[in-house]
Structure 1
Amino acid sequence: MSQKYSGGCEHVHTHADHDPIDNHTCHCSVCKSVTGQPTTHVAFFNHDDVVVDHPEELNRQPFNANNPDGPLELCTCKDCGTPIMLDDKQNRIRAIVPNLMGYADAFPAATYHAFYDAAAGVARPSDGRPVHEGLRPEFVWPQGS
């Protein structure tokens, strides 16, 4: 059976059969630093909605070097170094960056812009999607375990 969304690398595979709970273009400095991209397409899934076939094959490192005790860990393949997902130590979400984590080009487009900061000197996005200084106001973090 094929999954709705699937990604990973040749060593570690991930999939989800449910839609993301949040799907945005991120403008934050952490995403810029980690990905090297000026903006990053990020999709949040409920933690248990993203299945990993070989979690023992993941290296984990803090997502935010300036907050090493923060909740998010960047998980990369031990064999090839491919980024696989962001995992939340509080078990609330798993985040996928479709263009870096093996997800198909057919992944749904981001629905809004998050963490836009006019002081960064970048023009405000003008593609018609909402622009927010953080996550969309109605976003509610899921319960962790």
Structure 2
Amino acid sequence: MSHKYEGGCEHIHTHASNEPIDNHSCHCSVCKNVTGQDNTHVVFFNYGDIVVDNMAGLKRQPFNANNPNGPLELCTCAECGSPIMLDDKEKRIRVIVPNLMGYNSEQLPATYHAFYDPAAGAPAPSDGRPVYEGLRPDFVWPKPG
């Protein structure tokens, strides 16, 4: 069966049929440390909207090494090591990084830049999308599930 959005690896498949609740290019230091990218295309879905076919095959580790008890866990395939998703222990969101987690980035375009800090020394984004110091001002975190 085909779903609107699909990703994962050879061993673990994920999909979503509902639209994401947020798409942005993240400039935070945690994303930079985890991905090695200057900015990371990040897509938030409501927690229940990302379906995983092999939860037992996930290896979990803290997303933020400086906050190991934080809410987000990086889930990778225990067999091949591919990143699969970020899972929220509070069950509010699941996060996909399309270019690293098998999703089509063009289907899920970033609409703004988040966590841009001019003091970090990186040039300001110049692609015409809005730039914010955090998530977009109208973003509302879903209630924990």
Secondary structure class of the residue paired with 1:32: helix
Quick one: distance in 2 between partners of 1:105 and 1:30? 21
Tell me what 1:81 maps to.
Answer: 81
- Count of aligned pairs: 145
Tell me what 1:11 maps to.
Answer: 11
Quick one: distance in 2 between partners of 1:6 and 1:135? 25
Tell me what 2:20 maps to.
Answer: 20
Once the two structures are TM-superposed, the CA of residue 104 in structure 1 deviates from its matched residue by 2.0
Tell me what 1:35 maps to.
Answer: 35
Quick one: distance in 2 between partners of 1:59 and 1:79? 9
Secondary structure class of the residue paired with 1:61: strand
In the TM superposition, 1:63-142 aligns within 5 A as 63-142=63-142
Amino acid at match of 1:6: E
Amino acid at match of 2:133: E
Matched-pair contact (CA < 8 Å) for 1:115–1:133: yes
Secondary structure class of the residue paired with 1:119: helix
Q: Please state if 1:52 is matched with 2:52.
A: yes
Structure 1 residue ranges without an equivalent (≥5): none
Once the two structures are TM-superposed, the CA of residue 66 in structure 1 deviates from its matched residue by 0.1
For normalisation by structure 2, the TM-score amounts to: 0.98
Considering only aligned residues, what root-mean-square deviation do their CA atoms show, in Å?
0.7
Amino acid at match of 1:56: A
Matched-pair contact (CA < 8 Å) for 2:71–2:90: yes
Identity of aligned residues (%): 72
Runs of 4+ in structure 1 deviating by more than 3 angstroms, as ranges, are none
Classify 1:115/1:103 alpha carbon distance in 2 versus 1 (closer, same or farther; 3 Å). same
Once the two structures are TM-superposed, the CA of residue 33 in structure 1 deviates from its matched residue by 0.2
Quick one: distance in 2 between partners of 1:95 and 1:28? 15
Once the two structures are TM-superposed, the CA of residue 109 in structure 1 deviates from its matched residue by 1.2
Quick one: distance in 1 between partners of 2:121 and 2:88? 31
Matched-pair contact (CA < 8 Å) for 1:86–1:94: yes
Amino acid at match of 2:129: R
Amino acid at match of 1:107: Q
Matched-pair contact (CA < 8 Å) for 1:98–1:107: no
Amino acid at match of 1:29: S
Quick one: distance in 1 between partners of 2:78 and 2:122? 36
